[in-house]
Structure 1
């Protein structure tokens, strides 16, 4: 195993007695890319196969349509599609690829003949198919672009990266929907929003009281609050601020004069 944070150093001591036939060895620092099996074309092969599957799906969805690339990513591709393509790509990694990956670490298990040139030929074929699919979709992609794409994904995400990515996605979504939100606000009255918030509280209390699985209930309620109710509540809050500001701006001269007189009397 490599020295990833997810692999506790005391793992071999934590193994139960019944698993004493398992021996855990950690690779020396800075040797993972050189000898770890998955780094010997396995990861690169799966990434190329994933890219091919991704381009194939996009071609199938957008062929003979007017869908732009942006529309495809926004409306026709989600995390479920991504996971499905990853599964499809991994299942297409050949047995010969997995076998040859052990050549540097465990050469005795790899046949001396029969694998020479196989990986290189397979990789070239996949790259050529990706380039062909790209060109059929009107994209200017060549072999170097595919190699660069695979290379860009070699760097692992840090724990901070997903948070940053999520913040950027939320910011983009807010910008895209800001104009639409302004239009929708006029269609829903504040009375309706207050009524919905009250009903949501009643439904939440009822479900939490009677649903047998509290964990599932809390998770679903959190999703509803974060994705839906927070939006309408924000609209209500903004309206309250706007009403307060309007009341201040349209205050009559008499009211302003009276406030000033009261302030002067207190000061005196």
Structure 2
């Protein structure tokens, strides 16, 4: 939220509540004619957040391609997955549906995750794709998505967020602080992202290309499209301010513009360290929550899990061989496999790892053969080898430093 709204200031004072420092990375792509918005790539620090497990969210049904890594950054691997699984199939279908030649030009900036040899790497799978890079250090000047598209998206997202707050305060007994503290989460965020990206207008997308492709603004290139002078005020910002006032927030247009500008800045090393520390804390909480979830399956033995997984494999094989619509069957089986059966595999894997670790830390020692009794009938104690002082083990005494024993 904008920095000067009172809810942001309260976040730092509310006992037992972590401030909203959570971040994610989005990758946007759209065509020059503005009638194709490709599903965005979203990178978060957690593969399956707690709220996803609670609501049994199927990530492949989201309006974004969900991926994760510890820093929530787009890496080369994740970018290539998005290109192969989302971008190329979407563009190919668009061209076929429009009856256009199978040819496409992908224009990108010089981000570290954008491989320079991308066209060569994709040549065998997608020979119809040409890749071109913008000159270095020109992203703010030429990159179409940076020409108000991303800024417009952020404003639309803020508007949707304020609208959601207004709806919750009006339709429930929740206060704004209670909603923000207990009911706004990453799943809510993804929903607002989908709405906001869908609401980026055709005009905004087309106008974004005018610095790279000036002719795009001419009516003869796109029928019915004539560039109009920029309005003195942004209607989206005006809507944000109006909604904010209706729920008691003191926000003006300058606050909204400051928020958009702030989110466009590169993170400093100090901010990155704070962010990573916060994310690690959140992951620790999620692991603790997972520990509670695991209690529900403690009564299920590992042999039972292995047995049901074996039967699941047999069922998959049977369906693949006998079902008439193999594609539909595989899709359904994959959904069940990814969202249900994978849980039991994870439980089994964790148990196996725990067993292996226990064996490593506490290996079973072979029982020595019992010595024969002596003349007195008593068994002599095994002789203890003397340990040189230089090799004696360190023992950490409670409240003190390591001492020799």
| Fold shared, TM-score > 0.5 on shorter chain | yes
Matches within 5 A, 1:1-268: 1-17=108-124, 19-63=126-170, 67-111=174-218, 114-118=226-230, 120=231, 124-155=234-265, 163-169=276-282, 200=298, 202-203=300-301, 205-211=303-309, 212=312, 217-219=341-343, 222=346
Shift of 1:17: 4.2
Shift of 1:217: 3.8
Within 2, Cα distance between the matches of 1:102 and 1:20? Answer: 25
Within 2, Cα distance between the matches of 1:173 and 1:74? Answer: 17
Deviates more, 1:203-212 or 1:10-19: 203-212
Q: Which of the two has greater strand per residue?
A: 2
Report if the CA contact (8 A) 2:305-2:344 is conserved. Answer: no
CA deviation string 1:177-201 (max 9, x = no partner): 9xxxxxxxxxxxxxxx9xx969616
Specify the SS of the correspondent of 1:19.
Answer: coil
Report if the CA contact (8 A) 2:238-2:253 is conserved. Answer: yes
Shift of 1:206: 2.1
Shift of 1:39: 0.4
TM-score, normalised to structure 1's length?
A: 0.63
Q: Unaligned regions of 5+ residues in structure 2, if any?
A: 1-107, 220-224, 314-336, 351-405
Shift of 1:207: 2.5
Deviates more, 1:126-135 or 1:19-28: 19-28
Within 2, Cα distance between the matches of 1:65 and 1:197? Answer: 34
Report if the CA contact (8 A) 1:42-1:101 is conserved. Answer: yes
Within 2, Cα distance between the matches of 1:223 and 1:46? Answer: 40
Specify the SS of the correspondent of 1:30.
Answer: coil
Residues 128, 90 of structure 1: CA spacing in aligned structure 2 closer, same or farther, 3 A cutoff?
A: same
CA deviation string 1:32-74 (max 9, x = no partner): 1110110011001111011001100110001275533331123
CA deviation string 1:184-228 (max 9, x = no partner): xxxxxxxxx9xx9696163455224313377654546658999xx
TM-score, normalised to structure 2's length?
A: 0.44
Q: Unaligned regions of 5+ residues in structure 1, if any?
A: 178-192, 227-268
Deviates more, 1:205-214 or 1:92-101: 205-214
Measured on the aligned residues, the alpha-carbon RMSD in Å equals 3.7
Report if the CA contact (8 A) 1:208-1:218 is conserved. Answer: no
CA deviation string 1:69-127 (max 9, x = no partner): 33112332222221111111111111011111100001122227832325x46x61110
Deviates more, 1:107-116 or 1:20-29: 107-116
- Size of the aligned set, in residue pairs, is 205
Q: Which of the two has greater helix per residue?
A: 1
Report if the CA contact (8 A) 1:49-1:92 is conserved. Answer: yes
Within 1, Cα distance between the matches of 2:131 and 2:274? Answer: 30
